[in-house]
Structure 1
Amino acid sequence: MARQYHTITRELLNSGTLSCYIKQLFVTGLTSNPTIFHNAINKGNAYDESILVHALGGKSGEALFFELALEDLTRAADLFRPIYDASEGLDGWVSLEVSPLLADAAASTIEAAIRLYTQAGRPNFFIKIPGNRVGASAIEEVVFAGVPVNVTLLFSEEHYLAAADAYMRGIERRIASGLDPKVRSVASVFVSRWDLAVQGKTPPGLNNCLAIAIAKNIYKAYRNLYESARWHKLYDSGACQQTLLWASTGTKDPGSSDTLYIEALVAPDTISTMPEKTLLAFSDHGKVEGILPVDGGGAGSVLAAFNQAGIQSEELASDLQRQGIDIFAKSWNDLVDSIREKSDILMQSK
C-alpha cells in the first residue's frame, strides 16, 4: 500500500514540510482538488505575488488559477521525481483536476486534459477526470493520446469497472496503432462518503461498515479483472496495470478510529490517499494487522443487510457521484471568484 498526501499549499512547499513528509512519513505522491486550492489560496497571502504577476500579464479567472496550480504541482512533481524514477513510474505522482464544470462535456475535457498535461511538462503528472458516463468516453480518448489519468469520483463496483474499461480501451487502441502502451492511470474510489450518507439509517451493529464493504467488493472486482484474458493480452503487449486508489479516507465519525479506513483497506497494488490529519494519525499509531481478502471477505452479507434496510447501493452511488461533481463545481466557482477578487485588489494597490 502506497501513501499519497491529499493536499497542496504553497506554504507546504516553501516550508519544506512536503519534503519532510516524503522522507520521514514515506509519502510517495500527492493529489489536489478545487476545494484544496480554494482553501490554500484564501489562507494568507502566499499566492498574492504570483496572482499579481499573472494578472499584470493578462491572465484572469480559470487561466490564472491553472498558472498558480501548475506552479505548485510541478514543484511537487519534481520532489517526487526520484520516487517515480526508482519505481519505474509506479509511484511518485501528483494530480491536477480539469475544471469540474466540464464534467458533462467530453470534447472540452479531452482538450483540457491534453493541454494541462503538456503545459505541466512532467512525466509524473496525472490529470484527474471524473468517472461519470461522459468522463468514461473522455478517459478513453485521453489515454489514447498518451496522457496519464487519475479517474476520480468512483463510488461503486460499476463505476470502477466502467473506468477500467475506458482505460483499457484507450490502451488497446494505442497497441492497434503501434503506440507505446505504457500510459499510467489510477482509479480513485471515494470511501468515507458512503458512511456519512447513511448516518442514522445504518442497520444495528453495522455502523461505519457500508464504506468498507463497498471497497471490499471493488477490490474483489479489481483482482478479478487482472486475472482476465483481456488484461493478460494487454500485459503481454507491455501495458501497465491501472492502480486502485482509496480516496476520501478521513474518518468522519468522531466516535470511530481516526485510522479506520486506512487500516481496513490495506492491500497490495493499491494507494491510500490521506489528508494531513489522517496521515499523521496513521504514522503515529496506525496498525497493519492484515490485508484485504481477494474474495470480498463477507462484503456481500453486509451489503445485503443494508439493502434490507432500504439502502440501495447502486442508486446511492449515482447520487454520491453527482453530489461530488456538484461540490467540486461549487468549490471551483468559489475559487475562481476568490482569485478574481484578489486580482482586482492587488491590481488596484499596485
Structure 2
Amino acid sequence: MKATQQLHELGQSLWLDNITRTLLDDGTLARYIAEDSVTGLTSNPSIFDAAIGDGDAYDAGVHAKTLAGLSGETLFTELALEDLRRAADLFRPIFDATDRVDGWVSMEVSPLLAADTAGSIEAAKQIHSQAQRDNLFVKIPGTPEGLPAIEEAIFLGIPINVTLLFSCAQYVAVAEAYMRGIERRIAAGLGSRVGSVASLFISRWDVASNPQLPVELHNKLGIAVGQQTYRAYRELLASERWKKLEAAGAHPQRLLWASTGVKDPSAPDTMYISAFAAPDTIDTMPEKTLLAFADHGQLHGVMASDGGDADSVLAQIGKAGVDTDALALKLQIDGAAAFVKSWKQLLQRIADKASALEDKSKGPALP
C-alpha cells in the first residue's frame, strides 16, 4: 500500500498545493486523485504566477478575456476560477461522499487586502458568488485585521480557508473567530454548517531559525510548533463550547498543515509529511513532495494529541536565542508581503502577456 493511501486511511486528507491548466488538461490531477489519494487542492498568488508564466497554456484565455474588456484583477480572477471550477468538479464526488468535509479547492482574496477588514469581506462575497461552486474555499489571511473578516464571512455562510497562520496563538484566535461566526448563525436561526480550515505554515519556521540554532536543533522548530498547535486543536474539539456547536450540527474547522515542502537539502524530503500524520487534519503538499511521499514516504506513528516533546524542544530553542513569539509575527508579516509581491508580479505578467498577444494578433505592420 502506498504511503499516501496509508495517510488517507488514518484519517488525514492529502491536498495538492498546486494548480495549473496543464495539470487539468493532461489528466495529471485526475491521476493524483485516482492513484495517490489526493482529495483537494490549494492555490495562492505565487502558484498562479508560476503557472501563467510557464508556457502558453493560458494565452488563449488571457487574449479572449482582454478582447472582452477584462484586465487586471478582474481578468485574473476569472482566469483562476476557470481552473478552480474544473478542479472543484473533479473533487465534487469526494465532497458529496464525505458530507462536505473533503473535496475542496481554494481561491485567495487579493493579498493587498491583508490589512483591510471591510475589503476582505467584500472580496470574499464576490469570489464566493462568482465561483458558483459549493466546494470552493475563499482564502483570507489570519492577520489581526483578517480575524473580523473571517468571523463575518463565516456568519454570511462563505466557506473560508484561513491562511498565513504560523503560531499556536494565531491558530487559537482564528478558531475562536470561526466559532463566533457559527454561534452568530445559530442565534440568527441560520444553518450551523459552514466549511472552514485553518492553515498552519511549517517549513518557514525552520528556514528562519536554522541559521540561529545549533545543528542538533535544525528543522525542529516547525514540527514543535505544529505539535503544540495540534494539542490546542484537540483540546478545542474536546471543549464544552465546541461540543455545544457540534450538537447543533456544526462541523469542525479542520487544522491544515501548509508549507510542507522541505527547504533544507540535508533533511529528508518527506520529513514534514511523516511528522504530521494525524487524523482529522489536512496536509497540503507541493507536487514534488506528494510524488516523493508516494514513492518512498514512511509513517512513523501518529502525532501525539498531547503535543509530544513540543514544550521541551521549544524551551531549548528559546534558550538558544530564538524568540518564537516575535518570529511568528515576523513570519506572518513577511508572508503577507511575499504574497503581495507575487500578486503584483502576477498582474504585471498578465498585462505583458495580454499586450504581446494583442500585438501578435494584429500581424506584421503593412509596409
* TM-score, normalization by structure 2: 0.94
Q: CA separation in 1, counterparts of 2:68 and 2:175?
A: 41
The answer to whether structure 1 residue 323 and structure 2 residue 334 are counterparts is yes
Give the 3-state SS of the residue equivalent to 1:95 in structure 2.
strand
Residue of 211, 214, 220 corresponding to 1:209: 220
Q: CA separation in 2, counterparts of 1:189 and 1:230?
A: 22
Q: CA separation in 1, counterparts of 2:159 and 2:264?
A: 34
The answer to whether structure 1 residue 131 and structure 2 residue 142 are counterparts is yes
Deviation at 1:250, TM superposition (A): 0.4
The match for 1:31 is 42
The match for 2:166 is 155
Q: CA separation in 2, counterparts of 1:265 and 1:44?
A: 35
The match for 2:109 is 98
Q: CA separation in 2, counterparts of 1:79 and 1:202?
A: 44
The answer to whether structure 1 residue 145 and structure 2 residue 152 are counterparts is no
Residue of 95, 99, 108 corresponding to 1:88: 99
Residue of 31, 43, 55 corresponding to 1:20: 31
Give the 3-state SS of the residue equivalent to 2:96 in structure 1.
helix
* TM-score, normalization by structure 1: 0.99
Counting only pairs closer than 5 Å after superposition, residues 231-250 of structure 1 correspond to structure 2 as 231-250=242-261
The answer to whether structure 1 residue 52 and structure 2 residue 60 are counterparts is no
Q: CA separation in 2, counterparts of 1:185 and 1:109?
A: 16
Name the amino acid aligned to 2:21: R
Q: CA separation in 1, counterparts of 2:240 and 2:344?
A: 44
Residue of 302, 312, 319 corresponding to 1:291: 302
Give the 3-state SS of the residue equivalent to 1:198 in structure 2.
helix
Counting only pairs closer than 5 Å after superposition, residues 156-195 of structure 1 correspond to structure 2 as 156-195=167-206
The match for 2:89 is 78
Deviation at 1:310, TM superposition (A): 1.3
Give the 3-state SS of the residue equivalent to 1:133 in structure 2.
coil
Deviations 1:227-269 (A, max 9, x none): 1111011111111100000000000111110000000010010
The match for 2:3 is none
Q: CA separation in 1, counterparts of 2:63 and 2:97?
A: 38
Q: Is the 8 A contact 1:213 1:299 kept in 2?
A: yes
Q: Is the 8 A contact 1:203 1:306 kept in 2?
A: no
Name the amino acid aligned to 1:93: W
Q: CA separation in 2, counterparts of 1:235 and 1:16?
A: 38
Give the 3-state SS of the residue equivalent to 2:217 in structure 1.
coil
The match for 1:223 is 234
Q: CA separation in 2, counterparts of 1:313 and 1:224?
A: 22
The answer to whether structure 1 residue 280 and structure 2 residue 291 are counterparts is yes
Residue of 124, 127, 130 corresponding to 1:113: 124
Deviation at 1:204, TM superposition (A): 4.8
Deviation at 1:93, TM superposition (A): 0.3
Q: CA separation in 1, counterparts of 2:91 and 2:306?
A: 34
Q: CA separation in 2, counterparts of 1:160 and 1:88?
A: 25
The answer to whether structure 1 residue 268 and structure 2 residue 279 are counterparts is yes
The match for 1:61 is 72
Deviation at 1:349, TM superposition (A): 2.2
Name the amino acid aligned to 2:275: A
Q: CA separation in 2, counterparts of 1:23 and 1:259?
A: 21
Deviation at 1:202, TM superposition (A): 1.5
- Bigger mean CA deviation after superposition, 275-284 or 203-212: 203-212
Q: CA separation in 1, counterparts of 2:70 and 2:176?
A: 38
Name the amino acid aligned to 2:174: A
Deviation at 1:203, TM superposition (A): 3.4
Deviations 1:51-97 (A, max 9, x none): 11110111000000001100000000000000101111111000000
Q: CA separation in 2, counterparts of 1:342 and 1:226?
A: 48
Q: Is the 8 A contact 1:203 1:305 kept in 2?
A: no
Deviation at 1:348, TM superposition (A): 2.1
Give the 3-state SS of the residue equivalent to 2:212 in structure 1.
coil
Moved over 6 A (4+): none
Name the amino acid aligned to 2:17: H
